[in-house]
Amino acid sequence: MRNLPNILTLTRIVMTLPIIVFLKIGSSGALWVSGILFAVAASTDYFDGFVARKYGSVTTLGKFLDQISDKILVTGLFIALFSAGVVNFWLLIVVVFRDIIVSGVRMIGASSGTVIAADMIGKVKTVIQFVFIAAAYFHLLLGFPAASAMSALQLVVGLITVASGLNYVMSHRAIMKRGGAD
C-alpha cells in the first residue's frame, strides 16, 4: 500500500499523452475515449491523496509528484483545448503563468528543504479546472454547455486560478524573501 499513492500519481502523468492524442484526433469516438481517460486520470488525483492519508504513506516525493502530475495533465489539456477552439488564449496564459509562478515558489522552498504542499484554494482550483475540462468534453461532444456558458466558465476558472496564485505567493512570501534560506 505504501507505493500505491505514487503509482496512482504516476498513472496520471502517463495517461496525459493518450488523453491529448485522442482529443486531437477529434472524432466522436476518440473524444469519448479521451474524455473517459481524463475522468479516470482526474479521479486518481483524489484517490492518491486519500490512500496516502488513510495508510499513513504521505511522502515528500508524493507531494511533489502530485503537484507536477496535476500541472502536466491540466496544462496539456488546456493547450489541446485551446487548439480545439474551446479555451481562449487569455485563459491558457493565466493557467500556464500561475503554474510557473507557483512552481518557482516551490523551487525556492525546496532549495532549503521546505516542501510546500498544495493548500485548500489550490485544491479547489484544480477541481474547478477539472470541472471545466469535463464541460469542454461535453461541449465538444454534445454542444452543451453552449458557447456563452463556456465563456462564463472560463471566467470563473480564470478568476479562481488567479486568486489561488496570489494566495500562494502571499502565503509564502517569507520564503521568497529569504530566497529559500531558513
Q: Can you give the residue ranges of every domain in the chain?
A: 4-178
Phi, psi (5° rounding) for residue 91? -70, -40
If you search the block for the grid coordinates 507505493, which residue do you land on? 3
- Within 10 Å of residue 113's Cβ, how many Cβ atoms? 9
Q: pLDDT tens digit string along 91-108?
A: 999 999 999 999 999 888
pTM score, whole prediction: 0.91
Residue type, 75: T
Q: pLDDT tens digit string along 24-80?
A: 999 999 999 999 999 999 999 999 989 998 988 888 888 888 889 999 999 999 999
Quickly state the pLDDT bin for 179 (edges 50, 70, 90).
low
User: CB neighbours of 72 closer than 8 A, spacing ≥ 6?
Assistant: 12, 13, 16
- 152-174 average pLDDT score: 94
Architecture of domain 4-178: Up-down Bundle (1.20)
pLDDT at 178 over 80: no
